[in-house]
Amino acid sequence: MTTLDDIEIIDPKRFPATVAEEIVASIIDVLDENESCSFVLSGGSTPAQVYRRLSRPPYDDEIDWSRVKLFWGDERFVPQESEHSNFRMVEGTLLQSLSDKDLKYFPVNTSLGSETLSAEDYANTIKQQGYYTDGKSPVFDIVLLGIGSDGHTASLFPGSSSVSDTESICISCDHPNDGTKRISLGPTAIFSAKKIFFLVTGEEKAETLTQIIQDPSVTPEQMPATLYRNASGHVTWFCDYQAAAKLERATSEDNGS
């Protein structure tokens, strides 16, 4: 279960830099022990500010980016030029600024005939990059995730059969509201990671965040982000003041005893 020290509550003005610092520190730790670092990116709008900060001094020069391999936690089945593409969002906030760093990145190929073919192709990409050693699951070094106000994470949506799929490295699905076709890492590929950072900002996430972290009765079928409870690695929640507003902090901490 998440303990309070796994939750970083951050001034919104400091959110991008604080998260960027943690990401840099984690990548450096991995590269101290390994030839490369696998870093799985989240889509959506929250991480964009972090990617922009990561691509600027001092962080852009604190990492040997040529030893970092970027993957996507999920993608929309749209052309990379689409405004809805997570690749396009990362390209504009991180890749363009680090274009001289020999960064290795592996986007989902959304030019194939279907989202199902894209998911199969991405699973093969992950295997080819060596992150599928034990025949059970890839073990990524760092995974970034967001949550939707319905409790989804990546493209694992409430009520979807993908939530209980323990076999597939990648899944394909339809967004339950707008019907857009999605490709996503499966639960096992996500939650086998060594480190998972959830990035959650805004008051519209406060109720959902509290349910995910503090209500053990909420199930993964109801809120897939609760799958973090069975994560193999370490999970840290990076929340701004608004998103954390409804979290019940330990009384000992509140009264400073």
Task: Give the footprint of ligand 6PG on this chain (CB under 6 A).
Answer: 42-46, 73-74, 86, 146-148, 152-154
CB of 20 to ligand 6PG, least distance (A): 16
CB of 146 to ligand 6PG, least distance (A): 2
Nearest to 196 by CA among 39, 28, 59: 39
Question: Are 125 and 169 contacting, i.e. CB atoms less than 8 angstroms apart?
Answer: no
CB of 175 to ligand 6PG, least distance (A): 9
* Residue nearer to ligand 6PG on the CB measure, 84 or 229: 84
* Residue nearer to ligand 6PG on the CB measure, 48 or 247: 48
Question: Are 206 and 244 contacting, i.e. CB atoms less than 8 angstroms apart?
Answer: yes
* Residue nearer to ligand 6PG on the CB measure, 46 or 168: 46
* Residue nearer to ligand 6PG on the CB measure, 63 or 201: 201
- Provide the CB-side half-sphere exposure for 75 (13 A, CA): 29
* Residue nearer to ligand 6PG on the CB measure, 63 or 240: 240
Cis amide linkage into residue 216, ω under 30° from 0: no
CB of 152 to ligand 6PG, least distance (A): 6
CB of 173 to ligand 6PG, least distance (A): 12
Tell me the residue nearest to ligand 6PG as measured from the CB. Answer: 146
